[in-house]
Amino acid sequence: MEKVSILIVGKYAEIECNLDRFRDHFNVLKLSDLSDINKIDEPELKKVQAIAFKGHSTLNSNTLKKLPSLRLISNFGVGYETINVADAKAANVLVTYTPDVLSDDVADLALALLFGVSRHLLQGDDWIRSGSWREKGEMPLNKKISGSTCGIIGLGRIGFEIAKRLESFKIKIHYYSRSRKNVSQKWIYHKSPVNLAKVVDNLFVSLVGGEGTRGFVSSEVLDALGPRGILVNISRGSTINETALLEALEKKKIYGAGLDVFENEPNINARFLSLKNVFIQPHQGSCTRETRKAMGELQFQNILECLAGRKALTPIPEMN
Ligand code: 8YV
pLDDT at residue number 229: 98
Q: Residue 283: CB within 6 Å of ligand 1?
A: yes
Q: Residue 77: CB within 6 Å of ligand 1?
A: yes
Low-confidence ranges of the chain (pLDDT < 70): none
User: Could you tell me the domains of the chain?
Assistant: 5-100+290-319 (3.40.50.720), 103-280 (3.40.50.720)
CA 76–ligand 1 middle distance (angstroms): 7
CA 280–ligand 1 middle distance (angstroms): 17
Nearest to 12 by CA among 63, 76, 60: 76
Query: pLDDT for 135-149, tens place per residue?
Result: 999 999 999 999 999
pLDDT at residue number 1: 80
CA 153–ligand 1 middle distance (angstroms): 19
Q: Residue 307: CB within 6 Å of ligand 1?
A: no
CA distance 8 to 31: 6
Q: Residue 78: CB within 6 Å of ligand 1?
A: yes
CA 199–ligand 1 middle distance (angstroms): 31
Residues 6+ apart with CB under 8 A from 184: 173
* CA 54 to ligand 1: nearest atom: 13
* CA 77 to ligand 1: nearest atom: 4
CA 286–ligand 1 middle distance (angstroms): 7
* CA 209 to ligand 1: nearest atom: 6
Q: Residue 204: CB within 6 Å of ligand 1?
A: no
CA 102–ligand 1 middle distance (angstroms): 9
Query: pLDDT for 42-97, tens place per residue?
Result: 999 999 999 999 999 999 999 999 999 999 999 999 999 999 999 999 999 999 99
* CA 79 to ligand 1: nearest atom: 6
Q: Which residues are catalytic?
A: 236, 265, 283
pLDDT at residue number 279: 98
CA distance 176 to 190: 5
Cβ burial of 109 (10 Å; 0-12, 13-18, 19+) is: buried
* CA 10 to ligand 1: nearest atom: 13
Q: Residue 51: CB within 6 Å of ligand 1?
A: no
140 close to 162: Cβ distance less than 8 angstroms: no
